[in-house]
Amino acid sequence: MEPVVEVKNVSFGYSGAPVLEDISLHLHRGQFAALVGPSGAGKTSLLKLILGTLRPNQGVVSVNGRSLDGRPAGQVAYVPQIETVDWNFPVTVEQVVLMGRIRKSGLWPWPSAADRRLMREVLERLEIAHLTTRHIRALSGGQQQRVFLARALIAQPDLLVLDEPTSGVDMRTAENVLHLLAELNRQGITILMTTHDLNAAAAHLPWVICLNRSVIAQGPPEEVFTEDSLNRTYHGEMMVIHHDGMILVQQRPHGHTHRDILPNPTPGHAPDAHDQTALFQEELVHAVAA
């Protein structure tokens, strides 16, 4: 079966400064994948190459078998980081969502009856149909994320690309967003998203790509989230704990901790690095189990 996305030996940089080097990966239809890596690793640049808004310096990016060559990809919808949106711009939920039909309906200023019918279906699917006339600045973070997800879905894409869909929202909202994306994926939409939340990626996504200028590892989280691959991705000391079927990831503690500044510390005992790591593992497991 032809992949939805294929990236072959792609390198890219700005003004001669390399950002991505010899990237090769592919996503098959129905896949749900996370792109993880530190800030500056090239995640957003790779998304823009897949969207066709950037052109690779070398290599080929194809969507549905068509080489993009710096041209926008058809049947691909994009959800930006909510922090990048001007929430004071005077538009309602309805107006934002209908923007997603421009590519299919053209620039005619009045949406068709079919467009409005599809909008209602998408808003009901995302459980925000009651917000149609609400101004976007009056929404919660979770509602804002669903509005831009609705704008993407109304385009009826084959591929949904999201940049940090769980950033800027609380933990419960982030969980709800990930459950919603998983449901959309089960309905047949191929999804690629970036995230800094490794534990959420391990818990919710079946495929992970570790990126830091090049692809360090890719595969199921139980195979990719190893201390070796994460150390190479983040250039730091990472700790991976397997507990009760869960994968927990955290940077390994070093130096001083909060215990060094607690009042009345136990005389004569300063925890060494081994003690700190053992205590941290125990606290992390208890926190997740709770």
Query: What pLDDT was estimated at residue 279?
Result: 56
Q: Mean of the per-residue pLDDT values for the chain?
A: 86
pLDDT tens-digit readout, 146-163: 999 999 999 888 899 999
Domains of the chain are 5-228 (3.40.50.300)
Q: What is the pTM of this model?
A: 0.83
User: What percent of the chain is predicted at pLDDT more than 70?
Assistant: 82
pLDDT tens-digit readout, 20-74: 999 999 999 999 999 999 999 999 999 999 998 999 999 999 998 888 876 666 6
- Contact present, 6 and 192 (Cβ < 8 Å): no
SS3 readout for the chain = CCCCEEEEEEEEEECCEEEEEEEEEEECCCCEEEEECCCCCCHHHHHHHHHCCCCCCEEEEEECCEECCCCCCCCEEEECCHHHCCCCCCCEHHHHHHHHHHHHHCCCCCCCHHHHHHHHHHHHHCCCHHHCCCEHHHCCHHHHHHHHHHHHHCCCCCEEEEECCCCCCCHHHHHHHHHHHHHHHHCCCEEEEECCCHHHHHHHCCEEEEEECEEEEEECHHHHCCHHHHHHHHCCCEEEEEECCEEEEEECCCCCCHHHHCCCCCCCCCCCHHHHHHHHHHHHHHHHHC
